[in-house]
Amino acid sequence: AGLFGLPRDVAVVAGTTDGCASFLATGAVAAGDGVTALGSSLTIKILSDRPIFAPRYGIYSHRLGDAWLAGGASNTGGKVLAQHFSLARIIELSAAIDPATETGLDYYPLGSPGERFPIADPALQPRLLPRPRSDADYLKAMLEGIAAVEALGYRRLAELGAPRLTSVRSVGGGAANAAWTAIRQRKLGVEFRAALSDEAAAGTARLALKGASEAGLL
């Protein structure tokens, strides 16, 4: 308060990280609610009644009121796709993908060696072979691979004591890809719910509102 010239009785309501704020913005509020961020990397968080810390898997937790956000961030994600296709080409090829079928290719899409979560291995090698002749199949196999990493992440959290995943909300650029969403739904096998907002600022506002209410300021 002194540093910024604020009144001495100012109430500091809350602060958080951008990732936690993005989680709150989606409207996820119940244990077992998961949020997947499909940006340049793949980040997942699940609302848990207990903290999960497992550095050997790259898993960490943030306190959120009386609950915890447990999860991790993988090196796979949109930046790997961007190494092979432009955004316009991804949109074009995605329209030709049948998400109800499997390519049978077991990819682990990485842009370079090394993974943080759900496998913490700085030497883990990308797995992007064999390459199909069809660009659409190649993209589809990468989308399947990223979805498999996402599913493994949620399974790993459950194995370590987090609640079983009951629903997923998605944020980030990849959330708008209908084919990818259908592939992910098939891999995860849970309800996909629309995010109320994908703006971290909205989550910060929700947290501040809650804090102000609990402090009797509203």
Residue with tokens 């500091």: 12
Strands (E), 14-159: 33-38, 42-48, 60-64, 67-74
pLDDT at 12 over 70: no
Residue 217: per-residue pLDDT: 79
Amino acid at 130: P
Q: Is a pLDDT exceeding 90 seen at residue 124?
A: yes
Whether the bond into 7 is cis, omega within 30 of 0: no
Which of 9-23, 33-47, 111-125 is the least confident region? 9-23
* Average predicted confidence (pLDDT) for the chain: 94
Please report the pLDDT score of residue 6 as a whole number.
Answer: 86
pLDDT at position 14: 57
21-30, 81-90, 100-109, 133-142: least confident range: 21-30
CB of 164 closer than 8 Å to CB of 158: yes
Q: What is the pLDDT of residues 65-81, one digit of tens each?
A: 889 999 999 999 999 99
Give the tens place of pLDDT for each residue, 137-162: 999 999 999 999 999 999 999 999 99
> What integer pLDDT is reported at residue 110 of this predicted model?
98
Percentage of the chain surpassing pLDDT 90? 81
Question: What is the spatial distance between Cα 27 and Cα 25, in angstroms, rounded to a whole number?
Answer: 6
Q: What is the pLDDT of residue 4?
A: 86
CA distances from 25 to 20, 21, 50, 125, 144 (A): 9, 6, 21, 35, 27
Q: All domains of the chain, ordered by start, with CATH? A: 1-26+198-212 (no CATH), 28-195 (3.30.420.40)
pLDDT for the residue numbered 210: 84
In sequence order, the 6+-apart residues with CB closer than 8 A to the CB of 123 are 113, 114
Lay out the sheet containing 167-171: strands in order across: 60-64, 67-74, 42-48, 33-38, 167-171, 191-192
